[in-house]
Amino acid sequence: MSPKQLAEAVNKRRTFAIISHPDAGKTTITEQLLLFGGVVREAGTVKARKTGNFAKSDWMEIEKKRGISVTSSVMQFDFQGKRINILDTPGHEDFSEDTYRTLMAVDSAVMVIDSAKGIEPQTKKLFQICKMRGIPIFTFMNKFDRDARDPLDLLNEVEETLGIETYPINWPIGSGRQFKGIYDRFNRRVALTHPADEDNPYLPLDDDGNVKGDNPLANDGEWQDALDEMELVDVAGNQLDREKIAAGDQTPVFFGSALTNFGVQTFLETYLQFAPAPSDHHTENDGDVKPLDPEFSGFVFKIQANMNPRHRDRIAFVRICSGEFDRGMDVTLERTKKPIRLSNVTEFMADTRENVENAVAGDIIGLYDTGNFQIGDSIYTGKKDIKFEKLPQFTPELFMRVTAKNVMKQKSFHKGINQLVQEGAVQLFRSYTSGDYILGAVGQLQFEVFKFRMQNEYNSEVVMEPMGNKTARWIDPDQLDEKMSSSRNILVKDIHDQPLFLFENQFAENWFKQKYPDVKLTAKL
């Protein structure tokens, strides 16, 4: 590719994740987006996979035909001149540190909220990671075809709970059975849920914001309410501020209904006007890597173990940060400084197979891995050593005591644990006094993968004893007195020998803070 072609290709990439609490409608929206992109032809396909209603063979057949892997973690399609990569952030039982790390590989995020419920715990956690990265965050208030909370109330909650300014791009006119449409402040039109003429669902607005010509909603209470609410927002709300949006300090808010596909296309079109192209990435050794640097570089943000015992391979997901990837190219693995040929690669491509041979900055590639890669690894071409900034560690919330079932097999047990911990599959802690192993994770699945891989890759059967949910808080070693520990705040140390308490619950933490007001407790991310 010439530099000009590279620039064109990179500048059309839009790589983002959809974050939400389970059941807010992420799958439904993703499916609508794929429909617009022509990747799936029928609504219900992604959904059917999720609920397991779709015969697996049919599904694989679709993947083969379309040349993409929708079941996988990355979905790619073209829309209005842009190449879109959507990275999946699994919820439910699949939730894990990988979910968080995936957010390290995107340039923006879309937060989907169930408008009857508002901000839910998982949305909040994922939001905080995006906020920490300072990437633009867009909000889709979903399910307005059902009775929803007051839109002002929803915006208020976003501002107060998440600490980000809101700017409503559009405004709902009613909700539930009385959901009449959306007043689109940005595109200067009203979209009707039930237009008289199906081919013409929009009412254009004049310069004063009034409907040009006849307004079928003019006498509806919902219309008047929407106008009153918007007036409030105009007077007391925030101004649209592109700089703040780019820095993740203001979120443009859209209202709609994914299920009835109302407001989703407008959302996508408008979103693409704000969403950033691939951004620079910080390195530890030499400033920022720019996406248009001709040398290839990228980092591993996720390793997916194959749960099928007959296929021991795993896939290492790489975010390309600069240059262009070509199948069969040789790269340097920064950690070992050894060359590796990238021949066995999965890409997550749209509806043709033509593109499969290369990918550019902003794209994600999946490398078949037999144990070469670790989470956070940097790879690059060229003479300049590139080491991307370390991926953050996340505060685990679930804990398990772990021991080897067979005491004679301690060696493989230790080897397995050490490697899996290094790889980032789980986090390791040790009891402060006894040195017993305690594993920490953000999602249950991490333990299951750990157990499975210990057995299959290290031939070590493990016994796991759940300790349940805990709040991990680090404490300055100088302030530590072992007597502070109790069954409600267990004292452990992390792999760097730093002490921390695992609090049973918020109550136990508050109790501790009252008892030791001078002791400083800190959380990681």
Amino acid at the residue 301 = F
Per CB under 6 A, the segment of 19-27, 67-75, 159-167, 371-379 that binds ligand G4P is: 19-27
> What is the x/- site pattern for ligand G4P, positions 387-416, by CB under 6 A?
------------------------------
Q: Could you please report the per-residue DSSP string of 144-185?
A: TTS----HHHHHHHIIIII--EEEESEEEE--GGG--EEEET
Q: How far apart are CA 116 and CA 199, in angstroms?
A: 30
> Using CA of residue 444, residue 447, residue 448, residue 449, what is the dihedral sign?
positive
Work out whether 27 is an interface residue with ligand G4P (CB under 6 A). Answer: yes
Work out whether 266 is an interface residue with ligand G4P (CB under 6 A). Answer: no
Q: Are strands 250-255 and 281-282 parallel, antiparallel or unpaired?
A: unpaired
Work out whether 45 is an interface residue with ligand G4P (CB under 6 A). Answer: no
Work out whether 427 is an interface residue with ligand G4P (CB under 6 A). Answer: no
Work out whether 14 is an interface residue with ligand G4P (CB under 6 A). Answer: no
Amino acid at the residue 119 = I
Q: Of these, 47, 149, 409, 414, which contacts ligand G4P (CB under 6 A)?
A: 47
Rank residues 91 and 298 by Cβ distance to ligand G4P and give the closer one.
91
Q: Are strands 324-326 and 364-369 parallel, antiparallel or unpaired?
A: unpaired
> Of 26, 67, 79, which Cα lies nearest the Cα of 50?
26
| Nearest distance, CB of residue 145 and ligand G4P, angstroms | 5
Distance of CA 256 to the CA centre of its chain: 21
Could you give the C-alpha distances from 297 to 93, 292, 313, 368, 391, in angstroms and in order? Answer: 32, 11, 23, 17, 16
Work out whether 125 is an interface residue with ligand G4P (CB under 6 A). Answer: no
Q: How deeply is 454 buried, as exposed, middle or buried, from its count of CB atoms within 10 A (0-12, 13-18, 19+)?
A: buried
| Nearest distance, CB of residue 113 and ligand G4P, angstroms | 10
| Nearest distance, CB of residue 497 and ligand G4P, angstroms | 40
Binding-site residue ranges for GTP: 20-27, 88-92, 142-145
Per CB under 6 A, the segment of 99-107, 149-157, 226-234, 253-261 that binds ligand G4P is: 253-261
Could you give the C-alpha distances from 468 to 205, 404, 440, in angstroms and in order? Answer: 56, 20, 10
Collapse the DSSP code of 36 into the 3-class scheme (helix H, G, I; strand E, B; otherwise coil) and give the result: helix
> Of 88, 48, 239, 226, which Cα lies nearest the Cα of 144?
226
Q: Of these, 7, 205, 259, 292, which contacts ligand G4P (CB under 6 A)?
A: 259
Collapse the DSSP code of 98 into the 3-class scheme (helix H, G, I; strand E, B; otherwise coil) and give the result: helix
Work out whether 297 is an interface residue with ligand G4P (CB under 6 A). Answer: no
Per CB under 6 A, the segment of 24-32, 228-236, 447-455, 480-488 that binds ligand G4P is: 24-32
Rank residues 140 and 223 by Cβ distance to ligand G4P and give the closer one.
140
- In sequence order, what are the residues at sequence separation of 6 or more whose Cβ sits closer than 8 angstroms to the Cβ of residue 514? none
Work out whether 26 is an interface residue with ligand G4P (CB under 6 A). Answer: yes
Cβ-count burial 326-352 (b if 16+ within 10 Å, e if not): eeebebbbbeeeeebebeebbbbbbbe
The H or E element that residue 143 is part of is: none
Q: Of these, 15, 193, 257, 489, which contacts ligand G4P (CB under 6 A)?
A: 257
Work out whether 509 is an interface residue with ligand G4P (CB under 6 A). Answer: no
| Nearest distance, CB of residue 363 and ligand G4P, angstroms | 24
By the 8 A CB rule, do 142 and 115 touch? yes
| Nearest distance, CB of residue 91 and ligand G4P, angstroms | 6
Rank residues 140 and 296 by Cβ distance to ligand G4P and give the closer one.
140
Q: Of these, 97, 107, 145, 334, which contacts ligand G4P (CB under 6 A)?
A: 145
Collapse the DSSP code of 280 into the 3-class scheme (helix H, G, I; strand E, B; otherwise coil) and give the result: coil
Work out whether 25 is an interface residue with ligand G4P (CB under 6 A). Answer: yes
Per CB under 6 A, the segment of 72-80, 166-174, 252-260, 344-352 that binds ligand G4P is: 252-260
Work out whether 24 is an interface residue with ligand G4P (CB under 6 A). Answer: yes
Rank residues 32 and 251 by Cβ distance to ligand G4P and give the closer one.
32
How many residues touch ligand G4P under the rule CB under 6 A: the total is 17
| Binding interface with ligand G4P (CB under 6 A) | 20, 22-28, 47, 91, 142-143, 145-146, 257-259
